[in-house]
């Protein structure tokens, strides 16, 4: 077939790619600006051959990717959107603490003296937490856990959840998710149970709400709608602002290189 000869002027555009944490990272911008050091630290993703895992899950969501990030960074939504599945009335009084450091936005939700929303202690009195860390540009790491009231809140390394958001179009998003738990052959079914619980919550609770917001916006630019900003939106707004800054900086670098 052509004896290996490539006709003059023929070529296929290529992109920088790195495989890390069992994920393929692709840079679609100017190849000269690709920087492996900017890949988010997702080293908590279980390595191959270490047991049965709940990773590599995927949904296509009919919304702009920023709405998906808004939802994940607003930890208060668990007590409303996921009421009865992951959340309950006892969790609603807690307030989110937002901090920013080294390019990461962190939202901490500490809920002492509440009823456990999910896991081994579900429905029991506990001190529990949900903490979300955004790593630029669109990867998030959720820390979650619960302990009996008054015990030291030590984070279990098997209780992290990964959320990776990739824009598909202006109005659709690739959503990848999973958890850090590793299970033996005897407990292999636990990985599927966790996956099913996550997927059920996303499909029947998160996605209908997010897609309805996308539909109600009617293609309008977010800030043009003068959205009401609640205290629980602080983390999501910080992320939006950081992404706006990053996009402006990237456009400026690309413009400088083209001159």
Here the tokens at position 56 are 């590599």
Neighbours of 173 (CB within 10 A): 24
Residues in the chain: 259
Q: What is the pTM of this model?
A: 0.91
Domains of the chain by start residue, with CATH: 52-220+227-258 (3.90.380.10)
Going by pLDDT thresholds of 50, 70 and 90, the confidence category of residue 67 is very high
β-strand partners of 169: 172
Instruction: Give the SS3 label for residue 34.
Output: coil
Neighbours of 215 (CB within 10 A): 12
158 in Cβ contact with 182 (< 8 Å): yes
In tens, the pLDDT along 193-227 reads 999 999 999 999 999 999 999 999 999 999 999 99
133-148 b/e (C-beta count within 10 Å ≥ 16 → b): bbbebbbbbbbbbbbe
Q: Is residue 1 predicted with pLDDT exceeding 60?
A: no
Please state the φ and ψ torsions of residue 108, each to the nearest 5 degrees: -110, 125
In tens, the pLDDT along 88-134 reads 999 998 999 999 998 899 999 999 999 999 888 999 999 999 999 99
């Amino acid at each position: 077939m052509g004896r290996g000869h490539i006709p003059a002027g023929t070529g296929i555009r290529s992109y920088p790619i790195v495989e890390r944490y069992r994920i393929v990272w692709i840079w679609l911008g100017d190849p000269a600006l690709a920087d492996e050091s900017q890949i988010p630290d997702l080293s908590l993703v279980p390595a191959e051959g270490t047991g049965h895992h709940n990773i590599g899950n995927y949904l296509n969501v009919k919304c702009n990717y920023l709405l998906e990030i808004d939802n994940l960074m607003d930890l208060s939504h668990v007590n409303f959107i996921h009421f009865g599945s992951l959340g309950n009335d006892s969790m609603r009084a807690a307030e989110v603490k937002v901090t920013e450091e080294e390019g990461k936005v962190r939202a901490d939700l500490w809920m002492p003296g509440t009823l456990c929303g999910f896991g081994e202690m579900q429905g029991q009195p506990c001190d529990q937490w949900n903490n979300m860390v955004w790593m630029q540009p669109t990867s998030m790491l959720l820390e979650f856990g619960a302990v009996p009231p008054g015990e030291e809140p030590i984070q279990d390394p098997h209780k992290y959840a990964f959320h990776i958001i990739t824009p598909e179009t202006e109005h659709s998003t690739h959503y990848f998710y999973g958890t850090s738990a590793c299970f033996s052959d005897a407990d292999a079914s636990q990985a599927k149970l966790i996956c099913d619980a996550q997927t059920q919550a996303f499909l029947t609770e998160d996605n209908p709400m997010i897609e309805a917001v996308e539909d109600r916006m009617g293609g309008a630019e977010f800030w043009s709608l003068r959205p009401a900003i609640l205290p629980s939106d602080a983390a999501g707004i910080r992320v939006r602002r950081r992404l706006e800054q990053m996009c402006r900086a990237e456009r400026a670098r690309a413009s400088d290189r083209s001159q």
